[in-house]
C-alpha cells in the first residue's frame, strides 16, 4: 500500500483508521481496530503523515507512532469538523477518521504541539493543583450555603471565611457543628496538598532554565512559567508570538466583511488554564506598575488610562504571551525590555 496520509479517530478500545494514497483515494479503511492491534497496524505502514484529534491519550499515541518514523500531527477537534462529509448529520467514527485524514493534509491547518513525557509529568502537577483548588472552593461554597440556612452569612474571601467560620463554629447547634467541623478538616487537608504542589512547582521553575528566563518578565511567576514550558516547549510549533496569543484565545473575535473591520470580545479559545494564569499575571503587573519605571509598566498605565482596566488587563496578558513565545523561541537572543 502506498499510503501517504492517515487519519485516526482515537478512543479507549476501538479505533477508526482511514488512509489515502498519493491520488487522495482511500486505500486503508478500518473502522474497528482494536487497541492492542493499533500499533501493529501503524508499524506495518511506510513512513507517512498521521493526523489525530487532541484528546485523552493523543500525545501518548503520537510519541509511539513517531518511533516508527511517521510524521504525527495533532489538531483541535473544531478544526476537523468542517471536513466531515455530511456535516453534523453524518457523524460516526469512520467519518471522523476520514475528516481527520483530510484535515491533516491542509497547508493552513494549525496543530497542537506534541508533548514529551517530561512535559506531561510537569502538567500532572498543575492539573492536580488546579483540581485541589477547585475542590477547596467547592467545599467553602458548600459550607457557606449550609451556614446561610442558619442565618450566618460569611464572606467569599478565603481568609475572611476561615476567620468567620471559626468564630461561629462552637455556637452551631446539634450536628451542624460536626458537619462544618468535618468540612474545615477537609479544607485544611486540601490546603496542605495545595501548598505541597506550589512548592514543587517553585522547585521545577528554579531547576528549569527556560522557566527562569520566563520569570524575568513582569507578570510571569513560577506557576505561569512552568505551565507554558510544559505546554509548548520551545515554542517552535508557532510561527510567531501573535499566533501563540491567538492559540490562547487572547485576541478579539473578528466579524469583518466588505472592507469593514469589526472586532468583538476575545475568543477565549485554547488552553483556559494558561489564559487564566496570564490574565492573573497581567493584573499583578498593572497593580505594581505605578511603582516602576520600565517601558512595559509605563505602557500598561497609559493603556489603562486610554482603554480602561479590563481591556488593559487582556492586552497586557496578550503582550506577555507574545514575549513568552519570544523568550522560548529566541533563547539567549531575547533581551528583556529595561
In the CATH hierarchy, which top-level class contains the domain 5-103?
Answer: alpha beta
Q: What is the longest distance spanned by two Cα atoms in the chain? A: 78
Q: pLDDT tens digits for 159-193?
A: 999 999 999 999 999 899 999 999 999 999 999 99
Strands (E), 21-159: 26-34, 49-53, 71-75
β-bridge partners, 260: 257
pLDDT tens-digit readout, 10-30:
999 999 999 999 988 999 999
pLDDT over 70 for what percent of the chain? 99
Residue 224 CA to residue 206 CA, distance in Å, equals 13
Residue 93 grid coordinates: 467514527
Residue 254 has pLDDT above 90, yes or no: no
53 three-state secondary structure: strand
Mean pLDDT of the chain: 93
Whole-structure pTM value? 0.87
pLDDT at residue 332 in the model: 76
Mean pLDDT of 219-230: 96
Cell output for 185: 478538616
Helices (H), 104-173: 117-148, 158-168
Confidence at residue 133, expressed as pLDDT on a 0 to 100 scale: 96
Mean pLDDT of 88-103: 90
Amino acid at each position: 500500500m502506498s499510503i501517504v496520509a492517515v487519519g485516526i479517530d482515537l478512543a479507549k478500545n476501538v479505533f477508526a483508521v482511514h488512509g489515502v494514497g498519493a491520488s487522495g483515494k482511500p486505500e486503508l479503511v478500518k473502522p474497528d481496530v482494536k487497541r492492542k492491534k493499533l500499533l501493529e497496524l501503524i508499524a506495518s505502514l511506510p513512513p507517512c503523515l498521521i493526523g489525530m484529534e487532541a484528546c485523552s491519550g493523543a500525545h501518548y499515541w503520537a510519541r509511539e507512532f513517531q518511533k516508527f518514523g511517521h510524521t504525527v500531527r495533532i489538531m483541535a477537534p473544531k478544526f476537523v469538523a468542517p471536513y466531515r462529509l455530511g456535516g453534523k448529520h453524518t457523524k460516526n467514527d469512520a467519518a471522523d477518521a476520514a475528516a481527520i485524514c483530510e484535515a491533516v493534509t491542509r497547508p493552513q491547518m494549525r496543530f497542537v504541539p506534541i508533548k514529551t513525557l517530561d512535559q506531561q509529568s510537569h502538567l500532572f502537577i498543575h492539573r492536580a493543583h488546579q483540581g485541589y483548588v477547585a475542590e477547596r472552593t467547592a467545599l467553602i461554597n458548600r459550607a457557606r450555603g449550609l451556614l446561610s440556612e442558619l442565618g450566618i452569612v460569611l464572606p467569599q474571601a478565603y481568609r475572611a471565611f476561615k476567620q468567620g467560620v471559626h468564630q461561629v463554629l462552637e455556637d452551631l447547634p446539634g450536628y451542624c457543628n460536626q458537619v462544618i467541623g468535618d468540612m474545615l478538616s477537609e479544607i485544611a487537608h486540601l490546603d496542605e496538598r495545595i501548598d505541597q504542589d506550589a512548592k514543587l512547582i517553585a522547585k521545577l521553575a528554579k531547576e528549569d532554565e527556560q522557566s527562569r528566563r520566563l520569570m524575568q518578565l513582569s507578570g510571569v511567576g513560577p506557576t505561569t512559567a512552568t505551565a507554558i514550558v510544559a505546554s509548548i516547549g520551545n515554542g517552535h510549533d508557532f510561527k510567531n508570538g501573535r499566533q501563540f496569543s491567538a492559540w490562547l484565545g487572547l485576541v478579539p473575535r473578528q466579524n469583518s466583511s466588505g472592507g469593514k473591520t469589526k472586532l468583538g470580545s476575545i475568543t477565549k479559545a485554547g488552553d483556559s488554564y494558561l489564559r487564566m494564569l496570564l490574565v492573573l499575571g497581567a493584573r499583578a503587573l498593572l497593580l505594581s506598575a505605578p511603582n516602576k519605571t520600565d517601558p512595559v509598566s509605563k505602557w500598561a498605565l497609559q493603556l489603562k488610562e486610554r482603554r480602561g482596566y479590563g481591556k488593559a488587563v487582556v492586552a497586557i496578558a496578550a503582550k506577555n504571551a507574545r514575549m513568552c513565545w519570544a523568550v522560548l523561541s529566541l533563547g539567549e537572543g531575547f533581551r528583556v525590555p529595561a
